[in-house]
Structure formats: structure tokens, C-alpha cells
Chain A
Amino acid sequence: MNIDFRFIVTAFFEIMKALPLTLVITTVPLLIGFAIGIGTALIRLYKVKVIYKIADFYVSFLRGTPLILHIYIVYLGLPLLFDVLAEKWGWSIRSNSIPLIVFVFVAFSLNAGAYMSEIIRSGILAVNKGEIEAAYSIGMTTSQAMKRIVLPQALMISLPNLCNMFVGLLHGSSLAFSISLMELNGKANVVASTNWKFLESFIAAAVIYWGMTILAEKVTAILEKRLRMFIKGGVA
């Protein structure tokens, strides 16, 4: 078998240069998706009139279609929509000045929001009902009880799932190269085809992704240990 092991090391450092971009297109959608997720989860839990039907459909549709299609549809559809709006409201900018990364942000955030709303919803449902009753009994309003009592606990319960979400987005970001964004996978493809060493480049890329995933899991484990300190049961 002819594998050029030294090239794997060269490729590793070459591909590593794309890591910051990958992290940006992973964390920014994670944060935006988190906001969307909390909003959608609350709308669905409180069954806000009419909008909750839309929220239901949003979650189920985005969870029922592949991420690659979200990227393509946003990439092709958003400019059309943007231009129509720009014409209507007389904006001076046109869609061709939107940077590529914005499409990735939009597509990933929408995708992450749908998945995260389910994670957060299950987290909220897992919080003991007595907690919110206790909050009401000392005179808190619903939004206070949500913000101060229920959500902090719900988020902690969903921490492992949120870590999985991060890992899912990290792996999903490997699809951003389909609209020619140079993240890890895009870089790996370039390194592979310019040196004609495909296997070596993808091994290097795999090692980077693997390392990042293990790192994320370790960080979450530490966080979980710290945050769970007050959940200890028993008397001691």
C-alpha cells in the first residue's frame, strides 16, 4: 500500500489553517440556533395561537430534510428573495454583494434552531413541575419563573444534547464546501487535488475532526461536573 505518511503531516498543518473558519461556521450558528431554539420551544410549549402551528411545521420540516438541501436552498433562494425585497424597498445593495459565509450562517442557524428547539423543549419538560409551582407561590410572574427557575435547570439537563448539537454542526460544517467555502473539508479537497494525494489529505482532515470532537466531549464533561454540583441528591 503506498501511503505517503509524511504528506499526512504536511497536509495536517495545511488543513489546520482552515480550522478557524470551521469553528466560526460552527459556533455562530450554534448561538443563533440557540436563540431560535429557545423561542421555538417556548412557542410550542405555550401553544401560542397560530404561530405554534408554524413552529411545529418548521421543526418537523427542517428535521425531515437533509442539511445539504438547506444549504442549497438558502444559497439559491435567499438572493432571489433579497432582490425582490431590495427592489420593493429601494435598498441600494443587491444580493451579489452578500458574502458567501452569510448563506452558511443562515442555513446552519435555521437547521440548528429546529434541532435545538427539541432539545430545549425536552429539557424544560424534564424540570420538575413543583419548581414552577414553588416559583409562583412566592409570587414570581411566569416570565420570571421561566428565566430564573426553569430555564437554568432545563439548559443544564440538556447540556449533553447541546454538546451533541455542537458536534453535529461541526460535522455538518463539512458540507459548506459545496458552496465553495474553504473550511476544513474544502481545504482538504484543495490540498488533495493540488497534490494528487487524496487519501492522505482526508486522513489528515479526519484526524482534525476527530480531535475536535473528543475535545468538545471532554470540555462538556468538565462543564457538566461543575454545573451539576448543586443537583446532588441525598443529605450530605
Chain B
Amino acid sequence: MGKSFDLNLVFDFLPKLLSYLHITLLILVGAVLIGLLVGFLAALPRIYNIPVLRTLSAIYVSFIRGTPILIQLFLVYYGLPELLKTIQIDVTHMSSLVFVIITYGFSIGALFSEIIRAAVSAVDRGQTEAAYAIGMTPIAAFVRIVLPQALTIAFPNFANLVISYLKDTSLAFYIGVMDMTGRGQTLGTATNHFLEVYISLAIIYYAVCILLEKCFSLLETRMLRYERQFPVSQ
């Protein structure tokens, strides 16, 4: 701050910040992949009503939904090394990027598990019964009949979640990750033009959000191509 506002700098900063976009996307993709795995594992006990595990999964989801992502980030950053020390694993030299991806993965996983659970229960029970009737095993019925339909139902919510986590990745710089926002901080310190940096960042995030939204809506129409539209009888 201190210097006068210079609009040209906003455009000067754009390419510099864009060169760190891949780190932001890496965090997002890594977190979504972990999140999908964790989400499925956390959803299954609640879908199949397995005692104890069901409660654990509910507590996990409630905790993640009940605390800010920044607090989760700090908890993992300071807590995970302590936890791993008890089983003789030293992670003091691990990159903070790994902590961020793990935190976001588990955070996204909890919300995924809610979406998956809701989507599975939205699939008509008759589908499972029909699968059993033609002799499928419970696993085959779930994997081949229920899951593909559930994923189609879950997709829009899934897409919203990914977009909202893209914005949350901007917090990674708090534990020292050089993502786009982290680069923005150093750029701001170097040039003393913080406001221009942040406006530049806002433009990039907005563009990426719109791009993701377009991609997801294309994917959605593709996924829905098997959903036949029946003519409505009057």
C-alpha cells in the first residue's frame, strides 16, 4: 500500500500469477481424488447402516462441516507430524503442499460422502430389487446398477463443491505454499502494489471458475444423454 493505484499493473501481474496456476490446480485435483476415495469410504457405512462405523463417519462429517477450512488446515499442519511421530515417522521435511492436499482431500471427502449418500438414496429402490431378481450379487447390483445412476444425480452438487474448493485453495499460502495466492503475496511485497495483485488474482479465479462451470455443464449434458425424456401425457 502507499503507492497510487495503477491499472496497468493489474495486467502486468496477470501472466506472472498465471504461471502459478498449475500449483493451484494440482492442489484441487489432488484433493478431489483423495476426496472421492475418502468420500466413498465414509459414505458406505452410512448407506449400509453398519453400527459404530456409521457413528464414526457421522462425527467425521459433522466435524468437517462444523469447522472452518483454515482451522482444519492448521490442525493438520501442526497435528499430523505429532500424530505420525508416535508411529516413528518423521515428516518434518515434508513439503507443506502435501499437508494442504491431505487437508483439502479429507475436507472435500466429508462433503462428498454426504452427496454420495443422498444420491444413492435418491435412486429408486426398485432398481436394486430388479438387479437382485435377475440374480446379481449385492456388490454387482451396487456397482453396476445403483452407482452409475447415483453418480449422475450427484454430479451437479459434486461440480459445485469442486468450484467452491477451488476458491478455498487460496488459503493454502497461510502454511507457506507457493500457489497463485502465495505468489501474489510475494509479488505484492516486492512491488508494494498489493491491491493490483489482488484484483489480478480475482480476475484469474473468476475466469477459472467460469471455465470449470462450462466444462461441468458440458459433462452433465453428456452424462444425462441416457435419461430418456418421456412425452408428458395430458
Contact flags A123-143 to B (C-beta < 8 A → 1, else 0): 000000000000000000000
List the B side residues contacting A72 at CB < 8 Å. 194-195, 198
Nearest to A211 among chain B residues (CB) is: B66
Complex contacts, B70 vs chain A, CB 8 Å: 174-175, 185
* Minimum CB–CB distance for A106 against chain B, Å: 15
Which has the most chain A C-beta neighbours within 10 Å: B62, B83, B198? B198
Any B CB within 8 A of the CB of A13: no
Partner of B205 from the list A66, A76, A174, A213 (CB cut-off 8 Å) is A66
Contact of B201 among A69, A77, A167, A214 (CB under 8 A): A69
Does A206 lie at the interface of the complex (its beta carbon under 8 Å from any beta carbon of B)? yes
Q: In chain A between 51 and 92, which residues have their CB closer than 8 angstroms to a CB of chain B?
A: 60-61, 63-69, 72-73, 76-77, 80
B207 smallest CB distance to A (angstroms): 8
Contact, CB under 8 Å: B167 / A209: no
In Å, the complex CA distance between A68 and B169 comes to 11
Residues in A whose Cβ lies below 8 Å from that of B96: none
Residues of A in contact with B, size category: 35 or more
Q: Which residues of A are found within 8 Å of B75, using beta-carbon distances?
A: 199, 202-203, 206
The residue in A66, A170, A206, A212 that gathers the most chain B C-beta atoms within 10 A of its C-beta is A66
CA distance A65 to B207 in the complex (A): 9
Q: Mark A163-206, 1 if CB is under 8 A from B, else 0.
A: 00001001110110000000001001000000000110011011
Residues of B with C-beta under 8 A to A185: 68, 70-71
Interface size on B, residues (CB 8 A): 35
> Contacts A66-B167, A76-B198 known; A202 to B205 CB distance under 8 Å?
no
State whether B171 touches A68 (Cβ < 8 A).
yes
Q: How long is the Cα–Cα vector from A66 to B85 in the complex, in angstroms?
A: 35
Cβ of A3 under 8 Å from chain B: yes
The answer to whether A202 touches B195, judged by C-beta atoms less than 8 angstroms apart, is no
Interface centre among A76, A172, A175, A198 (most CB of B within 10 A): A76
A68 touches B62 (CB 8 A): no
B195-216 near A? 1/0 per residue, CB < 8 Å = 1001101100110011000000
Residue of B nearest to A80 (CB): B5
Cα A185 to Cα B198 in complex, Å, equals 22
A69-B201, A76-B198 known; A198+B209 contact, CB < 8 A: no
A236 interface contact, C-beta 8 A: no
Closest 10 CB pairs of A and B: A210-B66, A171-B68, A213-B66, A64-B209, A174-B68, A66-B167, A66-B170, A76-B195, A64-B206, A198-B78
A selection of 9 A-B contacts at a CB cut-off of 8 Å is A3-B82, A68-B170, A171-B67, A185-B70, A202-B78, A206-B63, A206-B67, A210-B62, A214-B66
Mark B residues whose CB is within 8 Å of A.
1, 5, 62-63, 65-72, 74-75, 78-79, 82-83, 85-86, 167-168, 170-171, 181, 194-195, 198-199, 201-202, 205-206, 209-210
A residues bordering B, Cβ < 8 Å? 1-3, 60-61, 63-69, 72-73, 76-77, 80, 167, 170-172, 174-175, 185, 188, 198-199, 202-203, 205-206, 209-214
